[in-house]
Structure 1
Amino acid sequence: MLINNDEYLELFHKIIDCIKTSQYKVVVDANLTLLHRNWRIGTFINENNNWGTKFLDNLSKDIKSEFPDSTGYSVRNLRDMKKFASIFEEDDIDEYGLAGITWYHHKALMGKAKTKEAYIWYAEKTIQNGWSHNTLKMQLDYDLYSRQVETPKLQNFNGVLPSEQSELALQTMKDPYIFDFVRFREGMIERDIESELVANVRKLLLELGTGFAFVGEQYELNVGERDFYIDLLFYNFKLHCFVAVDLKTGEFTPEMAGKMNFYLSALDNEVKSELDNPSVGLILCKNENRLVAEYALKDMTKPIGVSEYKLFDDLPNELQEALPTAEDIEARIIKKYECE
């Protein structure tokens, strides 16, 4: 940086933002043209579906013959165009901002998203979080839509938080959380799992979702001349609040809710600033024991959620084989940060 004063730096960042915005617009405009073209080709194919099994083979060869220097007209890609046109109306492309992701992303969604609603949700999250194609595939393999949207959440947010923050807090919850980078060992206790999560904090933050920042492990609270420790403490910049996580290796018990309620009271009194929203608690168990948890949370005064978590060894064998390794995920995250 040749000039280092505030006025110049402000100007510099405005210009950088302008460049990034224009670059994004160029990509979106190109994607928009491509998507409309693919939808129309797919519609033509659907309208002539009665031309037999060799129709796409012949069409692919003839298009390539007409445009020998162009790519993207393989039989497989024509099938994807056909499927895309079956899922969406042409107006949906603009209405749902589908040009915000690449055709490569769309191909992953067509292969894995179970419903149109899930497809649109994943597309929106990809745009919001800047997911690469590989990260999107990983979230699809993890069935993130089901865990974050479809599964009913065990929580009392609606009764103790303002409606806007309650909705945001609910949107951040997943059930279950998948920590596939932690392998179970015989005799493993809560502190061992906690240490593994902290040792792999980048992967942990990716699973927790957007907006989470790690504050500390075994975070100390001093109340009445006694020390108490929160397993894991985070700050969420979307919720503008602290998030306390209590990790348990067994099933949920009512005492856990009372303990978390105490932690949140102490956090709000001792740590939270006037600018922060009320702290939120998340109890992670191997078995959430839904009915017991519902009763336990019913009369709690602080916002608390309860979810299950799964380690690598808890996942079905076919999913273990399909999912990327911890090293793969770490390499992707590092690459993403380097690009930024």
Structure 2
Amino acid sequence: MNEASIGLNAPPDGYTDWLTGLKSRIHNAQQRASIAVNRELVMLYWQIGREILARQSDQGWGSKVIDRLAQDLRAAFPDIKGFSPRNLKYMRAFAEAWPDSEFVQQAAAQLPWGHNVVLLEKLPGPETRRWYITQAVKHSWSRNTLLLHIENCLLERSGKAVSNFESHLPKAQSDLARESLKDPYRFDFLSLGLDAKERDIENALIKHVTEFLLELGAGFAYVGRQVLLNVGGDEFFVDLLFYHLKLRCYVVIELKAGKFKPEHLGKLSFYLAAVDAELKHPQDGPTIGLLLCKGKNEVVAEYALRDNNRPIGVAEYQWVESLSAELQTSLPSIEQIERELAG
């Protein structure tokens, strides 16, 4: 029987749409199954860890019981990995760190076991761990991305840029905008000297735009560099232009190779007004500005922003060591971006 005789070359009306929907449902079911399997595994590890703790505490079992348990479990389940003495000790530490089963089920179990091990190894206390758990689940960070953000002190830098958002944006948008900015920004993918010019920095950032987006944080989508704005017949060029998917607004980034000066805000304010007039759609929020400079006086920056009538943040940037070649980024796919914009 050939293909034509069974109709493979000419599907019936509506078949293509049905197939697309069916594939989407299968994919979603696979994702749900994977999440469910991970949650069950993490909860199992937590229960094992809790029972080890209880027996060592209540019945005086010594530390060597873990070595014996590892040997017996591997003998009983030779095809299942994860019962090494080291991993059993992680299970015990995991149960000790999170005594509340409800929190484990609702939050920690949403992350793969490897992520939870990183949190145990790298972070000292529950509040800091809770913050990184929330961010990792929210932004679907890979383990390497989680590790990078911990090592780069993301929590300590988030929301620290000087800004005037509170007086120029609605509260919900102001809070999100403030949380979306850091200070300082750490550029560990640039091989530039301390005397690098602004255009050199810009070129390096765009050459490594994937890493730059990762440092900017979730929600930023790259629009372009040296973006042309035609204002009354005169041409102006925005250094770097982004769109923030959560804030639903354009973000203009202006680079300064030296220390912050109040006069820098005049040019950036003009760019924000021009983007609002020339590029902004009616449903977009007000365009936000981010001035990145090599250094700043906090008080001077606060005074300069106080009477400025555009939403702007001022932050420093630093050079640090190069990123690991194995870094897995958490950048959204085109499909994810489209879903965000359609939501």
**Are 1:46 and 2:56 an aligned pair?**
no
Q: What CA RMSD, in Å, does the superposition of the two structures yield over aligned residues?
A: 2.9
The structure that is helix-richer by fraction is 1
Which residue number corresponds to residue 129 of structure 1? 139
Which residue number corresponds to residue 317 of structure 1? none
Q: Distance in 2 between matches of 1:282 and 1:174?
A: 10
Identify which range, 7-16 or 249-258, moves more after superposition: 7-16
Does the CA-based 8 Å contact 2:229-2:237 persist in structure 1? yes
Give the CA deviation at 1:233: 0.8
Query: What is the DSSP-based 3-state SS (H/G/I as helix, E as strand, rest coil) of the residue aligned with 1:23?
Result: helix
Q: Distance in 1 between matches of 2:18 and 2:46?
A: 42
- 1:277-333 deviations in Å (ceiling 9; x for gaps): 110000111113211111111121111111111123xxxxxxx3xx643x444xx45
Which residue number corresponds to residue 91 of structure 1? 102
Q: Distance in 1 between matches of 2:12 and 2:207?
A: 39
Identify which range, 114-123 or 284-293, moves more after superposition: 114-123
Alignment CA distance shift 1:208-1:45 (3 Å):
same
Query: What is the DSSP-based 3-state SS (H/G/I as helix, E as strand, rest coil) of the residue aligned with 2:186?
Result: strand
**Are 1:307 and 2:315 an aligned pair?**
yes
Normalization by structure 1: what TM-score?
A: 0.85
- 1:182-225 deviations in Å (ceiling 9; x for gaps): 01236421110100111111221122122222222122223344
Give the CA deviation at 1:3: 8.0
Q: Distance in 2 between matches of 1:116 and 1:17?
A: 38
**Are 1:228 and 2:228 an aligned pair?**
no
Alignment CA distance shift 1:15-1:143 (3 Å):
farther
Q: Distance in 2 between matches of 1:115 and 1:204?
A: 29
Query: What is the DSSP-based 3-state SS (H/G/I as helix, E as strand, rest coil) of the residue aligned with 1:244?
Result: strand
Alignment of 1:53-68 (within 5 A): 53-68=63-78
Uncovered stretches (5+) of structure 2, i.e. residues with no partner: 1-7, 337-343
Identify which range, 207-216 or 245-254, moves more after superposition: 207-216
**Which of 187, 190, 196 pairs up with 1:179?**
187
Q: Distance in 1 between matches of 2:48 and 2:68?
A: 14
Which residue number corresponds to residue 264 of structure 2? 256
Alignment CA distance shift 1:7-1:142 (3 Å):
farther
Q: Distance in 2 between matches of 1:335 and 1:243?
A: 17
**Are 1:209 and 2:220 an aligned pair?**
no
Aligned residues: 325
Query: What is the DSSP-based 3-state SS (H/G/I as helix, E as strand, rest coil) of the residue aligned with 2:81?
Result: coil
Q: Which entry has the higher C-alpha Rg, 1 or 2?
A: 2
Alignment of 1:1-340 (within 5 A): 10-47=17-54, 48-49=56-57, 50-88=60-98, 89-96=100-107, 98-148=108-158, 152-185=160-193, 187-312=195-320, 320=321, 324-325=323-324, 327-329=325-327, 332-333=328-329
Uncovered stretches (5+) of structure 1, i.e. residues with no partner: 313-319
Give the CA deviation at 1:4: 10
Give the CA deviation at 1:9: 5.7
Give the CA deviation at 1:62: 3.0
Alignment CA distance shift 1:276-1:95 (3 Å):
same
Give the CA deviation at 1:126: 2.6
Q: Distance in 2 between matches of 1:78 and 1:86?
A: 12
- 1:55-98 deviations in Å (ceiling 9; x for gaps): 322332233234333321112111111111112111112332x3
Does the CA-based 8 Å contact 1:175-1:309 persist in structure 2? yes
